[in-house]
């Protein structure tokens, strides 16, 4: 189940500041150049052990003054459509603005849970200033300071309580596959090609209390759950091809999946937006298959295929151990292969490697090529084991783990990938003191 929080509000109330506090992505800090779309506006966080995603809608559209209102309207629409909980942020220091009232008018109609958050309450003196916001018609005002963190604990306590209340229904224990990508790459065509003529073998599965997001596909030797196909087949209300939108759409599908098929349009190449989605998949530790669709539209010479593949790998580096398939959905080419590959990635991702086997295979490798000595000290790996997580994660127990540097970590990951099949699977390796 995904838990998605969107932060909305007029510019400068502190949305990005709070976003950064939650996600710890300091790099996402406000770009002061107006008219520039901020790059990072999605992050993950957790509170009381409950994980959630945060969207800073401030990054959606930044325009000149006269289009602000329109931009904010879009922000709020996106949040209402895509998020589970909305944080409506206002500025207690500046006081109420007409734009706040506009946002409140829109947001009141949302069936989603909305929290009114008065930011910049850095000290108790300013608490009085927040009172005027009661006129916006919300029961409660959460007074916080995004800068010093005061009040944020109480807010998050209540926010995650919303998530705890969401009841999960029984979902069959099958691989969950999501098709993600920018608008127009062919996702719906792919889903329709799979499901279109096969209505009899498709069973909708009620995934959550909020929306039905899984569809079971059981045919041609496959048995898996398709994620969020309803949302894909019926196009959303917001049809504008804005960059941010496809990411928003993808988040939920990614979080609810085991394997993501990232679709690209062969005629467009791989763009920064595709890379964003790719890193979201990676960050969420999901399996990934890259599909270059509309291959029928590309004029081919001897090396087209190989060159294209190399280009993609160079863009997704350093995680390049990913299957890439060239499809033509309209010609029904390599659709079966896509499913087969996604299945295989799912298997690789679910493998449990016994400690004995890890030790037998990896210990000689790290003993033969140990990390370079630091200040005359040698790192020695003594024990290796896999963690019991939903994705492959391993611990290498050693003395002085702090001396294991990134190049060596990459070396070990590459050896792991050679020895065990993790094609399309992000893996995590920790170094810990025993």
Contact positions vs ligand GDP (CB under 6 A): 9, 11-17, 30, 58, 93, 119-120, 122, 145-147, 181, 183-189, 293-294, 296-297, 328-330
Q: Which ranges of 240-354 would DSSP assign to H, the alpha helix?
A: 243-255, 272-283, 304-316, 335-349
Element of type H or E holding 263:
strand 259-265
Shorter beta-carbon distance to ligand GDP: residue 182 or 349: 182
DSSP secondary structure letter of residue 168: B
DSSP track, 331-389: TTBSHHHHHHHHHHHHHHHT----HHHHHHHHHHHHHHSPPPPBTTB---EEEEEE--S
Residue number, 91 or 258, with CB nearest to ligand GDP: 91
Q: Which residues contact 340 (CB under 8 A, 6 or more apart)?
A: none
Locate the DSSP E strands across 75-162.
85-91, 113-119, 141-143
Smallest distance from the beta carbon of 182 to ligand GDP, in angstroms?
Answer: 7
Measured from the CB of residue 30, what is the shortest distance to ligand GDP in angstroms? 4
Rounded least distance, CB 103 to ligand GDP, Å:
12
Tokens standing for residue 294:
């509309």
Angstrom distances, CA of residue 9 to CA of 32, 100, 345? 17, 7, 41
Nearest distance from C-beta of residue 296 to ligand GDP, angstroms? 5
Which of residues 230 and 429 has its CB atom nearest to ligand GDP in the complex? Answer: 230
Our CB check for ligand GDP shows the closer of 312 and 384 to be: 312
DSSP state of 317: T
What are the binding residues for GTP? 9-16, 56-60, 119-122, 181-188, 228-232, 293-296
Comparing CB distances to ligand GDP, the nearer of 231 and 401 is 231
Q: Please report how close the Cβ of residue 325 comes to ligand GDP at its closest, in angstroms.
A: 12
* Minimum separation from the CB atom of position 419 to ligand GDP (A): 36
Tokens of 92: 């207690």
Which DSSP symbol is given to 97?
Answer: -
Give just the sign of the alpha carbon dihedral 346, 349, 353, 357: positive
Nearer to ligand GDP by Cβ, of 34 and 351: the residue is: 34
**Spatial distance between the Cα atoms of 378 and 294, rounded to a whole number of angstroms:** 52
């Amino acid at each position: 189940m995904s838990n998605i929080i969107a932060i909305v509000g007029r510019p400068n109330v502190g949305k990005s500041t709070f976003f950064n506090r939650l996600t710890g992505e300091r790099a996402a800090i406000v770009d002061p150049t107006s008219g520039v779309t901020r790059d990072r506006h999605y992050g993950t966080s957790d509170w009381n052990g409950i994980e959630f995603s945060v969207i800073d809608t401030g990054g959606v559209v930044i325009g000149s003054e006269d289009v602000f209102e329109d931009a904010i309207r879009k922000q709020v629409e996106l949040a209402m459509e895509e998020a589970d909980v909305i944080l409506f942020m206002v500025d207690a220091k500046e006081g109420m603005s007409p734009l706040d009232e506009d946002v409140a008018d829109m947001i009141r109609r949302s069936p989603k849970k909305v929290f009114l958050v008065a930011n910049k309450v850095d000290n108790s003196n300013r608490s009085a200033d927040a009172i005027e916001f009661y006129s916006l018609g919300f029961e409660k005002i959460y007074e916080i300071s995004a800068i010093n963190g005061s009040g944020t604990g109480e807010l998050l306590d209540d926010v995650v309580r919303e998530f705890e209340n969401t009841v999960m229904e029984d979902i069959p224990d099958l691989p969950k596959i999501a098709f993600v990508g920018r608008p127009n790459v062919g996702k719906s065509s792919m889903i329709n090609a799979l499901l279109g003529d096969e209505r009899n073998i498709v069973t909708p599965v009620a995934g959550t209390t909020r929306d039905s997001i899984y569809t079971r596909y059981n045919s041609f030797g496959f048995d898996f759950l398709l994620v969020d196909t309803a949302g894909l087949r019926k196009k959303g209300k917001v049809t504008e091809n804005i960059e941010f939108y496809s990411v928003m759409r993808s988040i939920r599908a990614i979080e609810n999946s085991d394997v993501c098929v990232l679709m690209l349009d062969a005629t467009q190449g791989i763009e920064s937006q595709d890379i964003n989605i790719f890193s979201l998949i990676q960050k969420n530790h999901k399996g990934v298959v890259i599909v270059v669709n509309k291959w029928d539209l590309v004029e081919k010479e001897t090396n087209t295929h190989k060159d294209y593949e190399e280009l993609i790998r160079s863009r997704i580096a350093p995680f390049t151990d990913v299957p890439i398939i060239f499809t033509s959905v309209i010609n029904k080419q390599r659709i079966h292969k896509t499913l087969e590959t996604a299945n295989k990635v799912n298997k690789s991702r679910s493998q449990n490697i016994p400690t004995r086997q890890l030790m037998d295979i990896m210990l000689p490798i790290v003993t033969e090529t140990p990390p370079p000595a630091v200040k005359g000290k040698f790192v020695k790996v003594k024990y290796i084991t896999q963690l019991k997580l939903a994705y492959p994660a391993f611990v290498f127990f050693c003395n002085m783990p702090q001396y294991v540097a990134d190049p060596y970590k990459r070396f070990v990951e590459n050896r792991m990938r050679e020895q065990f099949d993790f094609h399309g699977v992000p893996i995590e390796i920790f170094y810990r003191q025993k």
